[in-house]
Structure 1
Amino acid sequence: MHPLEKFEYCPMCGSHHFVENSKASKKCENCGFELFMNPSSANVAIITNSKGEILVERRRNEPVKGTLDLPGGFAELGETAEEGVAREVMEETGLKVTEAKYLFSLPNIYRYSRIDIHTLDMFFECKVEDESVLTANDDAAECMWVGPDDIHTEQFGLRSVRWGLIKFLGREECFSKEIHENVDKNV
């Protein structure tokens, strides 16, 4: 379900004449208020250790509980993308990010509470202070270091994380065509 479908009445004046204005907005025919539903900002960390292995988590919660993931999550109000990715890494792994280098972004649809939340996932290559303090916390049920050749992207439950790993690992044969064909599918 698109998030705008939940809004039957204008949040400003309460009118039932709150109609679709574009694929990202509804507008009140009574008072003129327009509500936009743009993508939410999310961050993903790609962290490698001194052996070149990538930090991978197992998801503790839905959606896609039990599948593999990378550290990350939604940005909070008032923080930069770099601050958000560092906060998420700390919350989920106990690791302190010392550097966050922006790599690329991918659109995603995150199904939560029966609503499709459109996101723009920003991927960062992160360096951390001390790999030895790694601990699974918050949304991470388990954390592990995995060699690049042992990464099987089909084991990752979130579409943008699968595609992000494909791109990061240079396995992009059909990447560009596939992402644009499937941008509106939650696969």
Structure 2
Amino acid sequence: MKKDRGKVWLGVAGVVINGDGKWLVVKKTYSGLKGIWSLPAGFVQVGETADEAVVREVLEETGIQCEVSGLIGFRTGVIRGEISDNMAIFYCIPTDGEQFIKIQESEVSEACWLSVEELVDSGEASVMLEEMASHELIHHQLFKKDGINPGDVFEYSSYRLFFNK
């Protein structure tokens, strides 16, 4: 069942890097990313923040539990001259040490940990993933700040800032 997302989309993707410096990547079973390595990703749902959405998406697609450390990028584009397609890209750290990957078979055909060299040299990485793997991302991330209240008048149930230190 395809959901009507309107004409403005907000997606999230997680760059999850393990203790060996390998990136968690997936091959989707659908769309333009079918059969090529990409990041665990999906859409923000009603009632969740973008950083909550990426933790959920990584877990759903790979079974890997993680936490967001920072924001490292934002991809934006317009599809067919009418759909604003936006994606926040978060830097994430696995939280449970050595975890076994368990894919969401309805959306993912494969998932594994690959080194930056393997990603760049594979010829099977998405354009975005290959571009990101070619740069030192960790030093350019915006860091997360929790526990901020911009004022009760706004009635936020969840609020976080991402900024340079």
> Shared fold by TM > 0.5?
yes
- Cα displacement string for residues 131-187 of structure 1 (whole angstroms, at most 9, x for unaligned residues): 423211142211111111221275234x444444344569xxxxxxxxxxxxxxxxx
What is the match of residue 99 of structure 2?
132
**Structure 2, gaps ≥5 residues long:** 1-5, 139-165
Query: How far off its partner does 1:64 sit?
Result: 3.0
Name the % identity.
25
Are the counterparts in 2 of residues 106 and 164 from structure 1 also a CA contact under 8 Å? Answer: no
Give the TM-score, by structure 1 length.
0.59
For the aligned residue pairs, the C-alpha RMSD in angstroms reads 2.8
Q: Secondary structure, in 3 states, of the residue corresponding to 1:46?
A: strand
Give the TM-score, by structure 2 length.
0.66
Match for 1:134: what amino acid? I
Aligned ranges 1:1-187 → 2 under 5 Å: 37=7, 39-108=8-77, 117-130=83-96, 131-137=98-104, 138-152=106-120, 154-157=123-126, 159-168=127-136
Match for 2:133: what amino acid? L
Are the counterparts in 1 of residues 120 and 134 from structure 2 also a CA contact under 8 Å? Answer: no
How many equivalent residue pairs?
A: 130
Runs of 4 or more consecutive aligned structure 1 residues displaced over 6 Å after TM superposition: none
Q: Which has the higher contact order (CA 8 A, sep 6+)?
A: 2
Are the counterparts in 2 of residues 123 and 164 from structure 1 also a CA contact under 8 Å? Answer: no
**Structure 1, gaps ≥5 residues long:** 1-35, 171-187
